Structure 1
Amino acid sequence: MAELLPLDPDQLLTTTRSVRKRLDLERPVPLEIVREALEVALQAPTGSNSQTWHWIVLTDPELKRKVGEYYARSFAVYSQNQAPRDETGQRVASSAQYLADVMGEVPVLVIGAIYTGGDLPAGNQSGVWGSLLPGAWSLSLALRARGLGSAWTTLHLAYEKEIAELLGIPKGIHQGVLLPVAYTVGTDFKPAGRKPLDDVLHIDGW
């Protein structure tokens, strides 16, 4: 069992960041550590306790390289359509560009997917993704507790069909998130700046 960082629950929740430039691309990540974190993630809730999620863990260099190429292609389009950014936005953009450049070199890629049996519903899809995304976030937290970092990404979904064919993902399984996983350079992450609670809090109505 991996040694856990000395973080209380609030520290874990407030210091689990999207890690990009501080991903250690050189240090191998044992598959057993990823499995251990996924065992924790499987305790997350799913609608009607359906547990229809699937987790595709990539360690093969060639598969990672190909997924990384799709991701970089999608990021190039995304970045061209972004409005001018302030200083904070520029830092985030630089970090995101770095991740796009090295996605295929990250030690482990994890794709979270869910069984739907067919096409996604045309209307509100919260019932679908609400049965996958809590588990993916729990995975991020479990990785952080073990000294690893990840970054929540979805840009690969522009090429969901191609990646499904590459990885042999059957029809009726929809991908929802891609998490690059690596040990972090240092573990001293801090809470991020956020809007004041009262700016977004509504009690008994809007």
Structure 2
Amino acid sequence: MEIDHLLSTTRAVRRKLDLGRPVEPAVLEECLNLALQAPTPGNAQAWRWLVVRDQDVKERLGALFREVGEAYLAGRVAAGEDGESRALASGRHLIDVIERVPVFVVPCLKGRPSGENATDAAFYGGIFPAVWNFQLALRSRGLGSTLTTYHLSREAEAAEILGVPDGFTQVGLLPVAYTTVPDFKPATRVPLSEVAYLDHWGTPLS
């Protein structure tokens, strides 16, 4: 796949995950190996990757995901957002089917965030480039995912389910499956001229 097309069409996939098609272990390992090639501060490589295929574990994590996710969506509707909007409908679909997604991948980092901006920027910088590498690798092989964080509100319970030891931080949950469509389109985005500045905040880039 041409690189610019890959970069501009890797979407957060929720409704177009193929729930009935298994994900081969070898394909997932290829994508995780590409994730490990991402830059990491100080070459620390402090990441850990939990691949969840067991249905009982998926159901237990899914219960946490659903409880938090439903409360979140209900809050957005209560705040006046249209419950039938595309974004909320997409989120609702994933909540409804989460346990049926073939694979969960839970990226983790050694350590805990400090609450100090500079330190935490470096901390999360040790995993999110790798997560994006993983998602791009999936996309190039006909799979999709989305980085979710619902279950992090119940991280201690999830850690018990997964056996995550103290001193490690879960940073998300990626539902992984083949996609039901062969390609995606670039998303509508705010023009670069409205979000990029030259030298000083508010100075047009060009």
Same fold (TM over 0.5): yes
How high is the sequence identity, in percent, across the aligned residues?
Answer: 44
Out of 16, 26, 31, the residue aligned to residue 10 of structure 2 is 16
Is 2:65 the partner of 1:71?
A: yes
State the AA in 1 paired with 2:58: K
Task: Work out the CA distance in 1 between the residues paired with 2:152 and 2:160.
Answer: 13
TM-score, normalised to structure 2, is 0.93
**Structural mapping, 1:2-151, within 5 Å:** 7-82=1-76, 83-85=79-81, 90-116=85-111, 119-124=112-117, 125-151=120-146
Moved more, 195-204 or 74-83: 74-83
Deviation of 1:152 after TM superposition, in Å, equals 1.3
Name the CA shift for 1:86/1:166 in 2 (closer, same or farther; >3 Å). closer
State the AA in 2 paired with 1:74: V
> Runs of 5+ in structure 2 lacking a partner?
202-206
Deviation of 1:32 after TM superposition, in Å, equals 1.2
State the AA in 1 paired with 2:197: H
CA deviation profile, 1:76-110 (whole Å, cap 9, x unmatched): 111122133369x8101000001011111100000
Q: Which runs of 4+ in 1 moved over 2 A?
A: 83-87
TM-score, normalised to structure 1, is 0.93
Tell me the secondary structure at the aligned position of residue 50 of structure 2: strand
Task: Work out the CA distance in 2 between the residues paired with 1:157 and 1:180.
Answer: 14
Q: How many residues align?
A: 197
Task: Work out the CA distance in 2 between the residues paired with 1:15 and 1:59.
Answer: 27
Task: Work out the CA distance in 1 between the residues paired with 2:65 and 2:8.
Answer: 28
Task: Work out the CA distance in 1 between the residues paired with 2:182 and 2:124.
Answer: 30
Whether the 8 Å CA contact 1:56–1:110 is kept in 2: the answer is: yes
State the AA in 2 paired with 1:14: S
Deviation of 1:172 after TM superposition, in Å, equals 0.5
Tell me the secondary structure at the aligned position of residue 98 of structure 1: helix
Whether the 8 Å CA contact 1:71–1:156 is kept in 2: the answer is: yes
> Runs of 5+ in structure 1 lacking a partner?
1-6
CA deviation profile, 1:121-161 (whole Å, cap 9, x unmatched): 02111111000011001100000000000011111101110
Deviation of 1:120 after TM superposition, in Å, equals 2.2
Whether the 8 Å CA contact 1:55–1:110 is kept in 2: the answer is: yes
Task: Work out the CA distance in 1 between the residues paired with 2:123 and 2:99.
Answer: 28
**Structural mapping, 1:117-196, within 5 Å:** 119-124=112-117, 125-196=120-191
**Pairwise CA RMSD:** 1.3
Task: Work out the CA distance in 1 between the residues paired with 2:97 and 2:129.
Answer: 26
Tell me the secondary structure at the aligned position of residue 172 of structure 2: strand
Tell me the secondary structure at the aligned position of residue 43 of structure 1: coil
Whether the 8 Å CA contact 1:136–1:177 is kept in 2: the answer is: no
